[in-house]
Amino acid sequence: MVLDPIQIRVLGSLVEKEITTPESYPLSLNALVNACNQRSSRDPVLELAEDEVRKALHWLIDQEFVSGMHDSRVPKYEHRIRTVLNLRRDETAILCLLMLRGPQTPGELRGRSERLYAFDDIASVQSTLDRLASREAPFETNPVATGPLLAMLPRQPGSREARYAHLLSGVPEAASVQPRPAASNSGEPSQAERILRLESELAILTETVAELQSKVADLESARITSSSAVR
């Protein structure tokens, strides 16, 4: 079961609006089209027609990712992704960001997730990514819930962190996927596993140091401003 880009945009938009604008959720078809086509927090920006969104909704309803509500004059729609994929709130937020904005690094995900879920630090984002990337147990509710929901991509030149991509649209090109290293026969982490773990921890530490430096700079600036005001 593979979702196409329009189905991904529709599903991601429903997840986002449920969290950020609960007073306007579930969404009418018109509101959903606007959410799919908005120019902020979307990559790429799309110009979907109402018929395209309606067609995607019908498929998502058939696969139980979305349900329709007809208790008002205007039909409205809500997602069921947490139930279908057995997701926690932090996992839902990460998957939503990847659906709406494409592959991202842990640092980008934390910086963009504030309205969806409050991660304490980069380490908590990485922990959520690791869980989503290493799921193995099948779930009886839906075959798509079997196995990993995201994959790590190779680090781009000049980047300190690897990017992650969701797998709801299928596995990215083989050359772009970072394979999971095989465990050693002894059950101990292999050398490749240890290297990947160290690289991940180093990226997290680097990001944490940068955040601390920024906070120290802000405090120093505030101190200087306060001293100047006293004089």
Percent of the chain with pLDDT over 70: 72
Averaged pLDDT, 145-154 = 85
Which of residues 172 and 98 earns the better pLDDT score?
Answer: 98
Q: What is the reported pLDDT for 178?
A: 42
DSSP letters, 112-158, are H-TTT---SSHHHHHHHHHHHHS--S--TT-GGGSS-SEEEPPPPTT
The answer to whether residue 189 scores a pLDDT higher than 90 is no
Which of residues 172 and 125 earns the better pLDDT score?
Answer: 125
Q: Please give the model's pTM, rounded to 2 decimal places.
A: 0.73
Q: Which domains does the chain have, with CATH numbers?
A: 5-79 (1.10.10.10), 88-180 (1.10.10.10)
Which of residues 157 and 211 earns the better pLDDT score?
Answer: 157
Residue 61 pLDDT level (bands cut at 50, 70, 90): very high
- What amino acid is encoded at 177 in this protein? V
